[in-house]
Amino acid sequence: MRLSALVLLALMAPAATAPAGLSQAWGQRPLAFEENRGQTDPNVLFFSRTPAFELYLTLSEAVLVPSAGPGALHLRWLDADPAPRVKTEGRLSGRVQFFLGEEPASFQIEAPLWSRIRLERLWPGIDLELSGTTRELEQDFVVAPGADPARIVLALDGAERAQIDDAGNLILALVDGGELRLRKPAAWQEIGKQRHEVPCGFRLLPENRLSFVLETWDRTRPLVIDPVVVQEGSSFQ
């Protein structure tokens, strides 16, 4: 079967909308993950298209294609579970309808939209939550008590050069052109009702690999590490 039509039927807005008369700036709209039900490559679980980038999520990587350049970045999770449990959260009020095959009326399919995807136990005791806005991708690595955050290692496939700037951000020059930036990662623990920051930074490893450097934290409590991907030089930053 082939894709013969794709129609967006509703805005990618949360089910709980803002008061009447108020509108969000486009750049602050939640990133909408469209469930793949035949619209694209079968290895893709969810995808999203925004003015700043396209995002394709599989069981082994997140692929970012910036709108400002022809390159693509494959953030591949190394030595991770090849079949993590996938959990969707934050159903959005928008939906997509499309038609497969030569007889559109016979093959109409709807694809739901979600604001958050969670890959559970991607590494032992470590989940990955993906969310964001139409201009940035947020990755929350949620480390359970006793789990080892050193297990988190990402391959930066598609990056020709990688460097950490003076502010701790990671600048990536893509092989086919364009740049992406990962903001210096934030890390924290919830203790009581307060968030306690944990000093954290990037560590570049051989063979274009990336991990994190952490100072002392309470290993008996959950830890969150949050690097955010934005498009370098984009008007959507």
- Average pLDDT of 103-127? 85
pLDDT > 80? residue 119: yes
- Residue 3: the pLDDT is 33
pLDDT for residue 129 is more than 50:
yes
Is residue 18's pLDDT more than 70? no
What's the number of domains the chain is made of? 1
What's the confidence (pLDDT) of residue 117?
A: 98
Amino acid at 2: R
Q: Which residue from 147, 215, 144 is spatially nearest to 185, judged by alpha carbons?
A: 215
How confident is residue 14, by pLDDT bands cut at 50, 70 and 90?
very low
Domain that holds residue 63: 3-14+26-231
Give pLDDT tens digits for 133-153.
988 999 999 999 999 999 999
Cα 30–Cα 35–Cα 37 angle in degrees, nearest 5: 155
Residue 108 confidence class, pLDDT cut points 50, 70, 90: low
Would you place residue 101 in the very low, low, confident or very high pLDDT band (cuts 50, 70, 90)? low
CA-to-CA separations, 135 to 44, 67, 92, 234, in angstroms, rounded: 21, 11, 18, 9
Mean pLDDT in residue range 48-60:
92
The pLDDT of residue 193 is 86
Per-residue confidence (pLDDT) for residue 8, from 0 to 100 = 27
Residue 107 included in any domain: yes
Residue 20 lies in a domain: no
- Mean local confidence (pLDDT), 176-198: 92
Structure tokens at 46: 């969810």
- Please report whether residue 236 resides in a domain: no
Burial environment of residue 38 by CB neighbours within 10 A (0 to 12, 13 to 18, 19 or more) = middle
Which of 27-36, 69-78, 177-186, 199-208 shows the lowest per-residue confidence on average (mean pLDDT)?
Answer: 27-36
Q: Given this model, what pLDDT does residue 13 score?
A: 32
Of 63-67, 109-113, 181-185, highest mean pLDDT: 181-185
Identify whether 217 is part of a domain: yes
Distance CA 38, CA 40 (A): 6
Residue 118 lies in a domain: yes
Q: Could you tell me if residue 187 is inside a domain?
A: yes
Read off the pLDDT of each residue in 157-163 and give the average, rounded to a whole number.
95
Task: Please report whether residue 21 resides in a domain.
Answer: no
Instruction: Report the mean per-residue pLDDT for the chain.
Output: 83
Q: From 86, 61, 83, select the one nearest 72 (Cα to Cα).
A: 61
Q: How far apart are CA 122 and CA 213, in angstroms?
A: 19
- Whether residue 140 is contained in a domain is answered as yes
**Residues 161-183: tens digit of each pLDDT:** 999 999 999 999 999 888 899 99
Q: What is the DSSP letter of 59?
A: S
